Homo-oligomer: A and B are copies of this chain.
């Protein structure tokens, strides 16, 4: 599946963190930089498997990150720079968000025979 937007599909079980959020109307440039930095930093963490992220023009977005274990999820949550940026997200960039930690039990991929 040669499409960078789609994360790899390892054999379950593994963990997914679903982060659904509504952006405020401010700070687009700084938010964009911080989001890129967090994605790059996440990829360096032990147990990171992949990330998928999309935000619509209306400010609603979903980011799903995938991890080998619950311990890897917890370690990323406690990461110092991630913790700092989360505080900033709450004070500036997000109106609201929901976060769900889930254990992936089954996974399937499909692609068109003529997919690029």
Does A6 lie within 8 Å of B98, measured CB to CB? yes
Does A3 lie within 8 Å of B22, measured CB to CB? yes
Q: Which of A20, A56, A103 has the most CB atoms of chain B within a 10 A radius of its CB?
A: A20
Residue of B nearest to A22 (CB): B3
Q: Quickly give the copy total for this chain.
A: 2
Complex Cα gap A16–B94 (Å): 23
Does A106 lie within 8 Å of B96, measured CB to CB? no
Partner of A101, one of B94, B95, B97, B106: B106
Query: Chain B contacts of A20 at CB under 8 A?
Result: 5-7, 52, 64
- Closest A-B pairs by Cβ, 5 of them: A96-B111, A102-B102, A5-B60, A102-B104, A101-B106
